[in-house]
Chains A and B, each alone.
Chain A
Amino acid sequence: MIKRVIALTLLAGLGLLFLGLLLDYRPDTDLNLSARYYAERTAPDLGAANIVTAIVVTYRGLDTLGEVTVLFLSATIVGLVLALGRRRGQAPAGLAPVGELLTTGSRMLTPLILLLGAYVFVNGHLTPGGGFQGGAILASGILLLLLADPLRHFSHGLISAVESLAGVFYVAIGLAGLVWAGGFLDNRILPLGDLGALFSAGAIPVIYSLIGLKVGAEFASMLASLAETEEL
């Protein structure tokens, strides 16, 4: 009873807080200084049609590198913790059979899901979406495979090779920007091309594809170690 009263009081307080914010809220009529800079300079300077991508990959590229590193660390720790209980030898008996619908559906849907993921991160500089979203879509395709066949084995060597190579090339492109262009992760080491073309915006599509592969591999390695763990 007391617990419930405390929870309701907390909720009411939170609600009042948000109500105050809502009543004070006035939408801005024009862009502030940094927003205007990004909106005006992105297309001529970086050649990217999607301003959000230009900010994430180039202007704030170092933050993105940090985010990818955090994800890499958590994937590593999950793998480390779960490796202790990894299944050895034969699979346990008595698995509930997976339905026909799931098996057939996953066979048809998985290639399409993987294709969509690749499309999302390759077109990150043109349309909404990018490396993180595309990587998550790739990983959900892998998860669908695992749902359809819980005993499927994924090659951890391949996953970690994709993950590490993508990371190495990402940092190498960043360093190349330091040498041949304006700074770390500058995208102008490759020609900018025409605004809106697939091969445009310098190194942004390359970097975002690498991020997509890296994020997808990280999620996939977490899911695969989760699936292979026998006891927790």
Chain B
Amino acid sequence: MILTAMTLFLCAAMIGAALFAVLGRSLPIAILAAGLVSLVASILFLVMAAPDVAMTEAAIGSGLTTFLFFFVLGRVRRGEND
């Protein structure tokens, strides 16, 4: 019962973060929200007893991709200043 409630809460948080990433005005916050979607997804994988998939999602989806987006954002901003 508690597990179901937690899963539903996590799903709601995931949808909220995804909407925030798409509709939000600020790019850095949108990137963070997209990373949050992956982080919550990896927690959900863990709840569903798939720790290996959860680790992949956390390392690539929420770690590497977020870093990469920030890196590219920095370069795009630098280009705008030229």
Which of B8-16, B17-25, B54-62 forms contacts with chain A? B54-62
A33 to chain B, nearest CB (A): 21
The interface on chain A, measured as residues whose beta carbon lies within 8 A of the other chain's beta carbons, has a size of 25
Question: Which of these, A50, A95, A136, A219, contacts B56 with CB under 8 Å?
Answer: A136
Question: Which of these, B51, B60, B68, B77, contacts A128 with CB under 8 Å?
Answer: B51
Let me know if A146 and B71 touch, CB within 8 A.
Answer: yes
Let me know if A128 and B67 touch, CB within 8 A.
Answer: no
Interface string of B33-76 (1 = CB under 8 A from A): 00000000000000000011011100110011001101100100
Let me know if B78 and A96 touch, CB within 8 A.
Answer: yes
Question: Which of these, B55, B67, B78, contacts A143 with CB under 8 Å?
Answer: B67
B71 to chain A, nearest CB (A): 6
Residues on the B chain within 8 Å of A95, using CB: 78
Let me know if B51 and A136 touch, CB within 8 A.
Answer: no
Let me know if B55 and A147 touch, CB within 8 A.
Answer: no
For the residues of A in contact with B, the DSSP-based class is helix
Residues on the A chain within 8 Å of B4, using CB: none
CA distance A143 to B63 in the complex (A): 10
Count A-B contacts at CB 8 Å. Answer: 53
The interface on chain B, measured as residues whose beta carbon lies within 8 A of the other chain's beta carbons, has a size of 18
CA distance A136 to B63 in the complex (A): 9
Closest to B54 in A: A128
Residues on the A chain within 8 Å of B82, using CB: 94
Interface residues of B (CB under 8 A from A): 51-52, 54-56, 59-60, 63-64, 67-68, 70-71, 74, 77-78, 81-82
24 A-B interface contacts by CB (under 8 A) = A50-B52, A94-B81, A95-B78, A96-B81, A120-B55, A128-B51, A128-B54, A128-B55, A129-B51, A129-B52, A129-B55, A133-B52, A136-B56, A136-B59, A139-B64, A140-B59, A140-B67, A143-B67, A143-B71, A144-B67, A147-B71, A147-B74, A150-B74, A223-B68
